[in-house]
Amino acid sequence: MPNTISGFSKLSKTEKIEWLLDTYFTDKDSARNLVQRYWNSDEKLQKLHDEFIENTITNYYLPLGVAPNFLINETFYTIPMAIEESSVIAAASKAAKFWLERGGFKAEVLSTEKIGQVHFIYKGDYGKLEAFFNHVKPKLISETASMTKSMERRGGGILNIELRNKSQDLPNYYQLHATFETLDAMGANFINSCLEQFATTFKTEAEQFEHFNAEEKNISMVMSILSNYVPQCLVRAEVSCEVEELKSKDIPNPEAFVNKFKQAVTIAEVEPYRAVTHNKGIMNGIDAVVLATGNDFRAVEAGVHAYAAKDGQYSSLTHCSVDNGIFKFWIEIPLALGTVGGLTNLHPLVKFSLEMLQKPTAKDLMKIVAVAGLAQNFGALKSLTTTGIQEGHMKMHLMNILNQFEATEDEKAKLIEHFKTTVVTHSAVVEEIGKLRA
């Protein structure tokens, strides 16, 4: 079998790279050179990154930018964002400034409960299973004592364990559905360790439960894992002001602006095709902060989108009202985040980002992330319902086009000046570069 290899993970980094070069690349020298150019010259730092994952060959850079001037519950923040999309930070910064002049953002954490489940198959009488669960529940808790001790000392731990009968959905399928408070930790390792211990205790005790017959004693534990759907780990962020206060250079007629803005939100509430793009724009802000602060953006994405579909149809995560001359725009989302543990203690830029955010608690970070999502959505809707999105997008994209054409610093300066007053399109930029170089 060409292009397959066994024992790859045991090769040294250099050997791995050489295998890749031999197998896939024609110009091996330039491919090797590229991979090596992205190594960090600080060997200790490079080793740290090498050891985050298996089979590291080099680093993959994303820009880390900042959006200043966020006023959240009377505290000023400069928000770190790791993202490649050119217009995201500009839009966030613009929205921050806009709301800074109108009272800033208000945010509150509504709940902080995390969830984990042990999925199992039991063939037998449900009444007996319930009796067994009640009998074993104190032991499920006591046998995790060594894991929960330090979390409990800080005020967290296991909140509850329930037996759930899912046999209507799948024959003989049941769950231990557990809830947790993990404080400033995202809590994945804590929750998964507790769940695996629940499963062991449950299985062992079932084998000895005197009221079970032989088949009932033979419970099959399928898997133990946290859920990334956390509808009880919720944060809400909001902006509001009098409609008249929205008047600005971009919004000459606030009344007309709010009407269209509200229509845009309502369309995303009722129309899934639009809701997905609307929420994608929100995630532009959310993912960028989640990534910069060393959190798991895949977990956040999965949980947020499930929440957007919680009423049976995928819908907008933001909402808008205009009542008695007051414009209100808000977001409510589930966010399981950590500011201790995981990458937060390891990645130097994550530590830097958290320090910039004034060492937030997990609850503080939930508010900051929700605000970043709301600001991003405000910026997108404001553009979409007024000038259209391309004007701003293409302005920000200009630098990417110039880089594609390997423009010199002098050419860049001249073309940026030129496009301050001219519409940016790919062909217009190509034409101008051509003229400059002619």
Element (H, E) at 69: strand 64-72
Cα separation values, 404 from 79, 88, 206, 408, 436, Å: 29, 20, 65, 11, 16
Binding mask 71-90 for ligand MEV (x = CB under 6 A): --------------x-----
Position closest to ligand MEV via CB: 281
Q: Which is nearer to ligand MEV, 91 or 96 (CB)?
A: 91
Position 277 contacts ligand MEV (CB under 6 A)? yes
Element (H, E) at 401: helix 390-404
Q: How far apart are CB 96 and ligand MEV at their closest, in Å?
A: 17
Q: Which is nearer to ligand MEV, 91 or 230 (CB)?
A: 91
Position 284 contacts ligand MEV (CB under 6 A)? yes
Task: Work out which of 94, 119, 278, 382 binds ligand MEV, going by CB under 6 A.
Answer: 278
Q: Which is nearer to ligand MEV, 191 or 380 (CB)?
A: 380
DSSP string covering 354-381:
HHHTTS--HHHHHHHHHHHHHHHHHHHH
Cα dihedral across residues 241, 246, 247, 253: positive or negative:
negative
Please identify every residue annotated as catalytic: 85, 280, 296, 393
Position 280 contacts ligand MEV (CB under 6 A)? yes
Q: How far apart are CB 129 and ligand MEV at their closest, in Å?
A: 48
Residues 225/192, Cβ–Cβ less than 8 Å: yes
Q: Which is nearer to ligand MEV, 65 or 341 (CB)?
A: 65
Kindly determine how many residues on this chain lie close enough to bind ligand MEV according to the rule CB under 6 A: 9
Q: How far apart are CA 83 and CA 174, in angstroms?
A: 41
From the list 107-115, 276-284, 356-364, 367-375, the region that binds ligand MEV by CB under 6 A is 276-284
Binding mask 360-399 for ligand MEV (x = CB under 6 A): --------------------x---x----x----------
Segments of 296-364 assigned E as strands: 318-323, 326-334
Residue in 55, 61, 4 with CA at minimum distance from that of residue 34: 61
3 state SS of 151: helix
Residue in 316, 320, 312, 226 with CA at minimum distance from that of residue 279: 316
Binding mask 296-335 for ligand MEV (x = CB under 6 A): ----------------------------------------
Task: Work out which of 80, 157, 281, 392 binds ligand MEV, going by CB under 6 A.
Answer: 281
Q: How far apart are CA 438 and CA 435, in angstroms?
A: 5
3 state SS of 324: coil
Which tokens go with 1? 């079998």
Those residues whose C-beta lies under 8 Å from the C-beta of residue 330, and which sit 6 or more positions away, are 236, 237, 238, 239, 318, 319, 320, 374
CA 385 to chain centre: 26
- The DSSP letter of residue 40 is -
Q: How far apart are CB 11 and ligand MEV at their closest, in Å?
A: 39
Q: How far apart are CB 88 and ligand MEV at their closest, in Å?
A: 7
From the list 46-54, 136-144, 199-207, 275-283, the region that binds ligand MEV by CB under 6 A is 275-283
From the list 37-45, 76-84, 114-122, 272-280, the region that binds ligand MEV by CB under 6 A is 272-280
Q: How far apart are CB 384 and ligand MEV at their closest, in Å?
A: 6
By CB under 6 A, name the binding residues for ligand MEV. Answer: 85, 277-278, 280-281, 284, 380, 384, 389
